[in-house]
Structure 1
Amino acid sequence: MRVSVLSIVAIGPLRGLAAFAPRWDDVKAKHTWNSVPENWENLGHPPAGTTIEIHIGLRAKNENALIDALYQVRSPGRPKYGAHLSREEVAELVAPPSDVLELVNAWLEYYGIPPSAISTKHGGSWLTVIGIPVPQANELLSASYQLYQHIGTNDTVLCTLSYGLPTTLLEHVQNVAPATNFGFPCTPWQGPLMRHDGAAGAQKKVPTGGPGTTSRYVSLAADRNVLGVVGLLGDYPSPDDLREFMNEYRFDATSATYSVVQIKDGGTLPPSRFRLHIYSTALAAQIPWTVSTPYGMTEYTVPPDYASYMCSLYARLGVRGASVLVSSGNDGVGHGNCLVPDGSGNSRVQFLPSFPSTCPWVTSVGGTTGYNPEVAASLSGGGFSVYFPRPPCQNSAVPTFLQSLGSRYNGLYNPGGRGVPDIAVQAIDFGIIVNAESSMMDGTSCATPAAAGIISLLNDYRISIGRPPLGFLNLWLYGVCLPGLNDITSGSNPGCNTDGFSAVPGWDPVTGLGSLDFERLVGILSRW
């Protein structure tokens, strides 16, 4: 899926530009880290002559319009139900006020950036500025860009511990990247847990049953239904491994294949490498109806402005008809001692939910294990967002759990935050093949693509009977599709030196609403 760069916006000098100077000098901090983030080390200033490409996300003139549209097109029974928006319609919804674009261009021109270096997309909500020398970027953003290397992966990034904006722009600019965000996409998100125990070879058969089984369904709309798989950090598919996998596990589907589509604007990728860039995907003319994102990072390590802008991009996918599924993490309620900086130089213990799982406009996938009974997998990430409030669709489900929890863990989580996960799927003992080597793997990074496969088949069914794809799933899951889920009522997700939360009847921050039952969901969706 290739995204075309829209025409360059060249706004000429504004009359009386000198009058803007005092406003450009009145700068306030947008985001600041008190110290270098954990697992990163400072390598110092970049070589002389280094340039940087800066992206600026602007707030919409009506910030509620996008979410209002999301609820309109995805709530069964509403007049606009099923009428997903086009790229152009979304661009109109998220466009900033025209005078803000003029203001931003005047600011950039004041710091010597020519109009030829600036391009805009999506109604002007996204600006890209290319070829900025690092000293000029430092002056523009009151920053100090330096090189940092991740301890463990050796990834090297150009970031700053703080940046600021003129007071006149502070409320209009939602995010600047790269700036203070060290984690995405440079460091590993919550990945799967791999076991090289050779056990995979003992399971060479086609599954015949189990939670959420879809073995009796035959695809009817394969030519109109697309499943997108996010690949980051050098992860990419191998046709040889796919062929070997099908021979071992699904010999009835040995003809299965995939297409590699470059989404990121410009540049080139090595053959067979696949990378889905969420910025570009949200703006693309064509999108996959189901998107699997088996990555995550601890929420507090992501700058709030960056998380907010990323979350708005997921909402744009939802309003266009995509179902986005994201793994909830593999560390229960948190890894290690869960000490979080409190902003005053000290630390406090806090449960650690995973982003982008905590974004209200994605479907967070936790993990289960076993069958008859199916129980919570202890690794299943879950909890409550610090950044994002509880969305309306959870208002009838989450408070019941909080009431049963009582005062336990008070101060360790945000009871008013968006609760994760939304659903849970089998996460233990997945056979995989990498570089022709069989292994077993656990994790919500396995559960998420499994859930995405089920949702993609449900989209296939919907399309085959002339209905629109599901789009944003949570309005379905917390509504008419609730009877199509298997409630998980045992198990827990320990972490942070605690027993974690427990799976209980109804929604819980271990398994969400429960696991997917494909046949029951087909029956429900045939009526909507």
Structure 2
Amino acid sequence: MRYRWIPLLFLLSTAPLGGIATSPWDDMRLKHSWKTIPENWESLGLPTAHTTIDLYIALKPYRENALIDALNEVSDPRHPRYGMHLSREQVADIVAPHPDTVQLVHSWLEHHRVTSSSVSVTHGGSFLTVTGVSVSQANNLLGASYQLYTHTKTNETIVRTLGYSLPVVLHGHVQTVAPTTFFSSPLTQEQTPQKRSGVAAVRLGKSPLGEPVRMPLSRRITHVTPAFLRWLYNTVTYVPSAMDRNKVGVTGYKREYPSPVDLTSYMRKYRPDGIDATYVVAVVNGGEYDPDNPGREANVNLQLSVGMTYPTPHIFYSTKASPDGDFFLAWLDAVLGQQNVPQTITTSYGYSEKDYPMEYALEACLLFAQLGTRGVSVLFATGDDGVGKGDCTARFAPVFPATCPYVTAVGGTMSFRPEVAASLSGGGFSEYFSRPGYQQRAVSTFLDNLGQQYSGLYNPLGRGIPDISAQAITIPLFYKGEEIFAEGTSCSAPIVAGIISLLNDHRLSQGKRPLGFLNPWLYRAAGSLNGLNDIVSGSNPGCNTDGFSAIVGWDPVTGLGTPDFLRLMHILDTGSSNPPE
């Protein structure tokens, strides 16, 4: 849709003929609402009169399709601009709002006596943050009814409204406003780790490339070490050389921190050539860092990624939630403002997609697209509840941001020769995002095979997840000095991120650009040219169903399969990433 730009002076001066002049700010239309209080939340009533909030206002870009057009061009191996990623300034320019949008929104704020000194602008003017807004003022601005709500399990207390509106004249200019109707708290994808007890016998074998590697006696893996992963995914012989340019980012939320002591213990046992491995901490939005109080999630994410990529530098982002209560937007706001961003970033957190207001999710997804245009490969775990947690009486419940079509979603596998789908592997189809072009052929083939099974429980036109997978079961980590086991796609995502980082290292060492947004390449080149190991057995039960089944080709359990580093590197080196249609 293209917007019709009406001169602002004309818009603000309109009045019914022969009547009393009315303000366009009084003509309100609903933007989003919930019918009931979201699950696990309950109202505590009205906040005190002195309560203030900071409002986050996302403005729609003037060039509506320019960002995604640019992302597709720089990410599609068949396009002449493949790999020609944009700078921070170029991205800010293509997502900038029309000057009329800016003037209109500021006029609306001024009408409600919001002072200009309380308004800050970021990302080329596409985001406004209004600080210190009283609840009564926010209610007037948004036709809302803010109350205090508490989470029944975590006791977290927030200020939210079950619905909000905007003047009709702003609906074509404002994407979303927060905090408003977004209630959910981020959940980690990692399953509860278990302390290490007995370990089955292992023997010392040889990898296909000749490097000694500890190999399990059976196809049921007793513990998935870096040596095993490097053998399984063919990275054993590769030595990173672009450490001055290539970096990996690992995101952390909810006061989850890694421990350098635990990292040293992990590397000493499983990657002794990297005992000096370390990382840099970036504190985001007032986040904290307490290495003496580490978290299992942060430890397993960092240890696996470092174990795969040593000596590639790592940045751990410790992020506090943004004014709207969303950790992802706080992190995105900070990272998109940086001139240099790690080429590969992995995240093992997510929300149930249905907990996001749709327009809010769309806005967050477009911010991830901005990272892709800048040459960043963004990977998200798909969750550990198969097609959904609980009984899901209405629909299956995929996880966001994994459902965003501009990130790479990572599912889970187990065993080897052959690998099979891990039953916990999150997968399914988005209710919010339509199937992207790069998925059309692969997903259509799966749906043709599926037939009418689960009809009505999922969106057959939605973006399918995952895109790719990796080991997710019996993953050892060190936590507070003890070795324990973890399982989940929290483990799979940093493993895949490590392999992608090594591919980026290879490209950068040859003077080439990083891979950036992966999916068009994965589906159009790597999948069709056998750069991935197809997983053809296993399923992901959930919602009181057997879930989907892994089959030949793409499936919503393991995606395209697991990566083979050497084959993927060969595809890149030979330029065979332009297969015929």
TM-score, structure 2 as length reference: 0.83
| Superposition deviation, residue 78 in structure 1 | 1.9
Structure 2 counterpart of 1:323: 377
Structure 1 counterpart of 2:566: 519
Alignment of 1:138-177 (within 5 A): 138-177=139-178
Maintained 8 Å contact 1:204/1:248: no
List per-residue Cα deviations over 1:320-350 (Å, max 9, x = no partner). 00000001111111111103xxxxxxxxx21
Q: Is 1:229 the counterpart of 2:233 in the alignment?
A: no
Runs of 4+ in 1 over 3 A off after TM superposition: 13-21, 199-206, 267-274
SS at match of 2:282: coil
| Superposition deviation, residue 200 in structure 1 | 8.7
| Superposition deviation, residue 188 in structure 1 | 3.3
Q: Is 1:491 the counterpart of 2:489 in the alignment?
A: no
Cα distance 1:21–1:516, how it changes in 2: closer, same or farther (>3 A)? Answer: farther
List per-residue Cα deviations over 1:451-473 (Å, max 9, x = no partner). 11111111111101111000000
| Superposition deviation, residue 213 in structure 1 | 3.8
Maintained 8 Å contact 1:17/1:106: no
- Which of these residues, 452, 469, 472, is aligned with residue 407 of structure 1? 452
Amino acid at match of 1:485: L
Maintained 8 Å contact 1:200/1:438: no
Aligned-partner Cα distance in 1 for 2:123–2:382: 30
- Which of these residues, 351, 354, 366, is aligned with residue 300 of structure 1? 354
Aligned-partner Cα distance in 2 for 1:288–1:206: 22
Cα distance 1:206–1:295, how it changes in 2: closer, same or farther (>3 A)? Answer: closer
Alignment of 1:375-524 (within 5 A): 375-482=420-527, 483-524=530-571
Alignment of 1:106-125 (within 5 A): 106-125=107-126
Structure 1 counterpart of 2:312: none
Q: Is 1:337 the counterpart of 2:391 in the alignment?
A: yes
Aligned-partner Cα distance in 1 for 2:30–2:198: 52
Structure 2 counterpart of 1:309: 363
| Superposition deviation, residue 206 in structure 1 | 5.5
Maintained 8 Å contact 1:119/1:127: yes
| Superposition deviation, residue 51 in structure 1 | 1.2
| Superposition deviation, residue 154 in structure 1 | 2.0
Aligned-partner Cα distance in 2 for 1:275–1:205: 26
Maintained 8 Å contact 1:31/1:303: yes
Aligned-partner Cα distance in 1 for 2:494–2:179: 29
Structure 2 counterpart of 1:80: 81
**% identical aligned pairs:** 51
Structure 1 counterpart of 2:39: 38
| Superposition deviation, residue 89 in structure 1 | 0.6
Structure 1 counterpart of 2:333: 279
Number of residue pairs aligned between Structure 1 and Structure 2? 502
Amino acid at match of 2:450: L
Cα distance 1:21–1:312, how it changes in 2: closer, same or farther (>3 A)? Answer: farther
Over aligned residues, Cα RMSD in angstroms? 2.0
| Superposition deviation, residue 268 in structure 1 | 6.0
Aligned-partner Cα distance in 2 for 1:40–1:200: 42
SS at match of 2:281: coil
Aligned-partner Cα distance in 2 for 1:246–1:156: 40
- Which of these residues, 275, 278, 284, is aligned with residue 254 of structure 1? 275
Maintained 8 Å contact 1:323/1:472: yes
| Superposition deviation, residue 235 in structure 1 | 1.2
Structure 2 counterpart of 1:70: 71
| Superposition deviation, residue 285 in structure 1 | 1.7
Amino acid at match of 2:38: P
Maintained 8 Å contact 1:263/1:280: yes
Cα distance 1:128–1:442, how it changes in 2: closer, same or farther (>3 A)? Answer: same
List per-residue Cα deviations over 1:258-298 (Å, max 9, x = no partner). 0012343xx46345584251222233222111010111111
Structure 2 counterpart of 1:130: 131
Amino acid at match of 1:467: K
Aligned-partner Cα distance in 2 for 1:274–1:93: 27
Aligned-partner Cα distance in 2 for 1:452–1:105: 42
| Superposition deviation, residue 514 in structure 1 | 0.4
| Superposition deviation, residue 153 in structure 1 | 1.9
- Which of these residues, 288, 297, 305, is aligned with residue 269 of structure 1? 288
SS at match of 2:187: coil
SS at match of 1:182: coil
Ranges in structure 1 where 5+ consecutive residues have no aligned partner: 1-12, 340-348
Maintained 8 Å contact 1:56/1:173: yes
Ranges in structure 2 where 5+ consecutive residues have no aligned partner: 1-7, 15-20, 201-222, 292-315, 320-330, 576-581
Maintained 8 Å contact 2:375/2:514: yes
List per-residue Cα deviations over 1:170-201 (Å, max 9, x = no partner). 12111111111112xxx232420023232498
List per-residue Cα deviations over 1:359-378 (Å, max 9, x = no partner). 00000000000011100000
Cα distance 1:167–1:200, how it changes in 2: closer, same or farther (>3 A)? Answer: farther
| Superposition deviation, residue 142 in structure 1 | 1.1
- Which of these residues, 345, 353, 366, is aligned with residue 291 of structure 1? 345
Maintained 8 Å contact 1:351/1:496: yes
List per-residue Cα deviations over 1:496-517 (Å, max 9, x = no partner). 1111110000000001000001
Cα distance 1:190–1:351, how it changes in 2: closer, same or farther (>3 A)? Answer: farther
Aligned-partner Cα distance in 2 for 1:16–1:424: 52
SS at match of 2:457: coil
Structure 2 counterpart of 1:6: none
List per-residue Cα deviations over 1:137-183 (Å, max 9, x = no partner). 11111112222222222222221111110000012111111111112
Aligned-partner Cα distance in 1 for 2:402–2:338: 22
Aligned-partner Cα distance in 2 for 1:498–1:457: 38
Maintained 8 Å contact 2:413/2:419: yes
Structure 1 counterpart of 2:194: 196
SS at match of 2:43: strand
Aligned-partner Cα distance in 2 for 1:149–1:182: 10
Cα distance 1:204–1:70, how it changes in 2: closer, same or farther (>3 A)? Answer: closer
Maintained 8 Å contact 1:200/1:439: no
Per mean C-alpha deviation after superposition, the further-off stretch among 287-296 and 189-198 is 189-198
Per mean C-alpha deviation after superposition, the further-off stretch among 174-183 and 431-440 is 431-440
Aligned-partner Cα distance in 2 for 1:145–1:275: 29
Structure 2 counterpart of 1:245: 266
SS at match of 2:384: coil
Cα distance 1:134–1:515, how it changes in 2: closer, same or farther (>3 A)? Answer: same
Structure 1 counterpart of 2:213: none
Maintained 8 Å contact 2:225/2:475: no
Amino acid at match of 1:508: D
Cα distance 1:83–1:166, how it changes in 2: closer, same or farther (>3 A)? Answer: same
Structure 1 counterpart of 2:17: none
Maintained 8 Å contact 1:61/1:96: yes
Maintained 8 Å contact 1:211/1:515: no
Maintained 8 Å contact 1:210/1:371: no
Amino acid at match of 1:302: Y
Amino acid at match of 2:387: V
Amino acid at match of 1:512: G
Maintained 8 Å contact 1:43/1:147: yes
Aligned-partner Cα distance in 2 for 1:501–1:424: 15
SS at match of 1:492: coil
- Which of these residues, 241, 256, 261, is aligned with residue 220 of structure 1? 241
Cα distance 1:229–1:204, how it changes in 2: closer, same or farther (>3 A)? Answer: closer
- Which of these residues, 393, 416, 432, is aligned with residue 371 of structure 1? 416
